[in-house]
Amino acid sequence: MNIIKNKKIVKSFGQHIDQLNTLSGGISMAHVNVIPKKDKMVVRVVAPAVGPESMQVLVEYNKLFVYATLPSAEDNGATQNTVSFPLFARAIEIPFQVAVDQIEAVYQNGELRVNLPYAEDRIVKGQFIPIRKI
C-alpha cells in the first residue's frame, strides 16, 4: 500500500476524477441573479463548492462574463501544461450606461457580487425626435 503514502499520487488521482466528472456532464449549479437598481446593476452569483480563486469576471463590449474553471494541477511548484475545465459560465448583457472602469467584484460568505454602477452622464432620459417633412 505504498501508493496511498504518496500524497502526490492521491492528489493527482482526485484531480483527474474531478476532471472526468466535469467531462462526463458533471457541473456546478451556479445561481445567477441580476438586480437592476436606480443607480447601478448588481449581479449575484452563488456557486456551491466553488471558491473565489476559481472564478473569473470579464467585461467585453456589452457583455459581462462570469465563469469558473477547475484549478490546474501543480507539480513541484511549476504549473503543468493542462487543460482547464469549465465548472460554469454565464454571459449577461449590460446596459450602455454602465461605467465599465468602475465595475467591482467582491466575494464574501460564499457569494460573488458584481456591482456595475451607472455613469451619471450616461443615464438615459427619454426624448422625442421631431419628424421633418420633405
pTM over 0.75: no
How many CB atoms are located within 10 Å of the residue 112 CB? Answer: 21
- Find out if CATH 2.60.40.790 is the number for domain 28-122: yes
What does the pLDDT profile of the chain (134 residues) look like in tens digits? 454 555 555 555 555 555 555 555 555 578 999 999 989 999 999 988 888 998 999 999 899 999 998 766 554 455 555 666 778 899 999 998 999 999 999 999 989 999 999 998 777 677 788 999 99
Q: Which helix (H) or strand (E) holds 126?
A: none
Give the C-alpha distances (Å, rounded to integers) separating 28 from 45, 47, 95.
12, 7, 28
